[in-house]
Every structure is written in C-alpha cells, then in structure tokens.
Amino acid sequence: MGQAKLRGTPEQRKQAAIEKQLSLRPKHIICNNCQTELTDINAVDVAELPGIDAAFEAHCPQCGHDTYAIKGEKEAVARLHMAIEDAAGAEAQAGSVPSASGR
C-alpha cells in the first residue's frame, strides 16, 4: 500500500482559499457611493473563480450601497466587477419597476 496521500482535496483547497482571503482582508472598505468607511466586511466565496485571490463585500448603512473589494488578476477582477454590476443593475431595475398595487 503506497502512501497515496491526497493533496489538495476540494475541502483543503477551500480551507486554503479561506485562509488566503483572511490574510488579504482589508481593515475597511470605502463606500463607492458616499465614501463612508465600512468596517463590517463579508468575505465572498471565490474558490470557484479563477484568477481571483479574494473578494470582500460591505454593505453601507448610510446609503444602502454594496461595495466590493476584489483582489486578483486584473482581467479576472474586471470580469467579476462586470458580473456584479450586471447583477446589481438587474436588481435595481427590478426594484424600480412600479408595482401594480391595485387594491
């Protein structure tokens, strides 16, 4: 029986990614919308995003805007930013559609 030690199981890789994220975690994120300093930062799961080292998200209590801080390869970061903007834009549009509130 060889000592076939499995290296880099999905679990281990995820753990390593989490540790890397924590080491990259900023002290604060500046709100993109109103420049408030946000310290309530959530780590985003980027284990399945190639080229991304870490991503953090903070919700601004002042203006309700979500700001993202993403670290990684330039292209991957740009792509993720666009994906987030797409998602946020769709949400904003959906939210701004006047609802037919006919009681």
- Candidates 17, 46, 49, 60: give the one binding Zn ion (CB under 5 A): 60
Residue number with CB closer to Zn ion (53 or 66): 66
Neighbour-count burial for 45-77, b at 16+ CB within 10 Å, e otherwise: ebeebeebbbbbbbebeeeebbbbbbbbeeebb
Give residues with Cβ within 8 angstroms of 49, minimum separation 6: 55, 72, 76, 80
Q: How far is the CB of 35 from Zn ion (least distance, A)?
A: 7
- Residues 6 or more apart whose CB falls under 8 angstroms from that of 101 comprise none
Ordered alpha helix ranges (H), the chain: 10-24, 74-96
21 binds Zn ion (CB under 5 A): no
CB 31 to Zn ion: min, Å: 3
Give least dist CB 43 to Zn ion, A.
20
Contact with Zn ion (CB under 5 A) among 37, 42, 62, 88: 62
Q: Where does this chain touch Zn ion (CB under 5 A) — which range of 11-19, 22-30, 63-71, 80-88? A: 63-71
Q: Interface with Zn ion by CB under 5 A: which residues?
A: 31, 33-34, 36, 60, 62-63, 65
